[in-house]
Amino acid sequence: MLKSKTLHTKCRKIIHVDMDAFFASVELRDNPELRGKAVIVGGAPDSRGVVATCSYEARKFGIHSAMSSARAFKLCPAAIFIKPNFSKYKQASDQIRRIFKTYTDLVEPLSLDEAFLDVTENKINNPSATIIARKILDQIFTETQLTASAGVSYNKFLAKVASDINKPRGLFVIPPEKAISFIEKLPIRKFFGIGKATEAKMHKLAIKNGGDLKKKTKIELAQQFGKFGEYYYDIVRGIDNRAVNPTRIRKSVGKEITLSYDTSDMQHMLTLLEELATKVADILVSQDISGKTITLKIKYHDFRTITKSVTLGYYLPRSAASIMKHIKTLVDKTEAGKLKVRLLGITISNLDNDIPEYIQTVFPFYETMIADIYNK
């Protein structure tokens, strides 16, 4: 059974394309005088805002996505802060997606700046996914003056991991015959979907890389990680049967973050909620959908989980400010601040999507949720 399951996945040719520092790259393209400088796209340094993304020059100072803008300013006072312009980023994203569609209709966007493509059968009748990936990267640069990186393999997990290896403007291929040896040597922190909290737990179990993970039985992993235990069991064996699906109906758009430590600091929580609201708004804009119901999810330090919702008589404007206006009211109805909190989440539902639209692949782990489209 395992053999047939594995062989089935190896028949596919999957590409994951990930734009390099997308928001910052768009700003640098449109403002050539900023090239070579530390540029930060995000909140102002004198606000409670956070870094959405930054140029590679800024990253040399240790600046990264989801860092507070105030902290980023301390690390690099000479950095140039730019307020995000999502309409401009969406325009560039739409142009890039049109490029994808010239090669295949099986395109699954994850956000404005990344997508999976299934090119097993493609419009240019080229049997090489590697050649197609290079053509796509070259075409993106030619038409948009933006750079991207790509990963190529036979499933989504491996393609996603591969796209991060040679950034920026890189291409990495994991062929089926090298997949297992690659995964066994891969540090746990490099596994897509495993963030800091899960990494720490795995280290306590003496799991430092894929080889260590592979030694665990499915039962052991289920006992330690619940329903995700089977996912870990499969991916470390190179098994990921998820299809590249461009037309799945979405019923809600949500983001949540498991904090690295429990907190009762309300200002810190509001900063994180603003970051989540920004990411949710970005998805709404990128997929051209809106919703009427806003839901706040909070998990307290004792693992009690509560939700507070409000349903409007109109479709919510697709902006972080509009979402936060209602989230702040919902927060006041909870015990956050009085009790320590370990998880925060925002969901928009009751959507106006009468037609199929894109779905975002989400793994409920720390780094994926706090970084997502910004950690590029």
Which residue in this structure is represented by tokens 């307290």?
300
pLDDT at 6: 45
pLDDT band (50, 70, 90) for residue 1:
very low
Give 157-199 pLDDT, tens digit per residue: 999 999 999 999 999 999 999 999 999 999 998 898 787 788 9
pLDDT at 353: 64
Closest C-alpha to 316, from 344, 347, 345: 347
Give 62-86 pLDDT, tens digit per residue: 998 878 888 999 999 999 999 988 8
Give 12-46 pLDDT, tens digit per residue: 999 999 999 999 999 999 999 999 999 999 888 88
pLDDT at 179: 96
Tell me which residues are annotated as active site.
114
Q: How many CA atoms lie within 13 A of 173 on its CB side?
A: 11
CATH class of 11-18+87-177: alpha beta
Average pLDDT for 316-327: 93
Domain ranges (residues) in the chain: 11-18+87-177, 23-86, 179-235, 252-357
**CATH superfamily placement of domain 252-357:** DNA polymerase, Y-family, little finger domain (3.30.1490.100)
Task: Report the distance separating Cα 131 and Cα 8, nearest Å.
Answer: 22
Q: CATH classification of 23-86 is 3.40.50.880, yes or no?
A: no
pLDDT at 91: 92
Residue 258 burial (C-beta neighbours within 10 Å; 0-12, 13-18, 19+): buried
Which residue in this structure is represented by tokens 């994926």?
368
Task: Report the distance separating Cα 306 and Cα 143, nearest Å.
Answer: 47
Q: How many CA atoms lie within 13 A of 220 on its CB side?
A: 10
Average pLDDT for 338-364: 68
pLDDT at 50: 79
pLDDT at 360: 34
pLDDT band (50, 70, 90) for residue 105:
very high
- Helical H runs in the chain? 2-10, 22-30, 56-59, 69-75, 86-101, 129-144, 156-163, 176-185, 196-204, 210-214, 218-225, 228-235, 266-287, 320-331, 366-370
pLDDT over 50 (residue 235): yes
Strand runs labelled E in 56-129: 80-82, 107-111, 114-118
Q: What is the CATH number of domain 179-235?
A: 1.10.150.20
Which residue in this structure is represented by tokens 């040719």?
13
Share of the chain above pLDDT 90, in %: 69
Give 242-276 pLDDT, tens digit per residue: 999 887 566 889 998 888 788 999 999 999 999 99
Residues in the chain: 376
Topology alike, domains 23-86 and 252-357: no
Query: Average pLDDT, whole number, for the chain?
Result: 87
Task: Report the distance separating Cα 244 and Cα 250, nearest Å.
Answer: 15
pLDDT at 365: 31
DSSP strand pairing (148-153 vs 171-173): parallel
Task: Report the distance separating Cα 320 and Cα 328, nearest Å.
Answer: 12
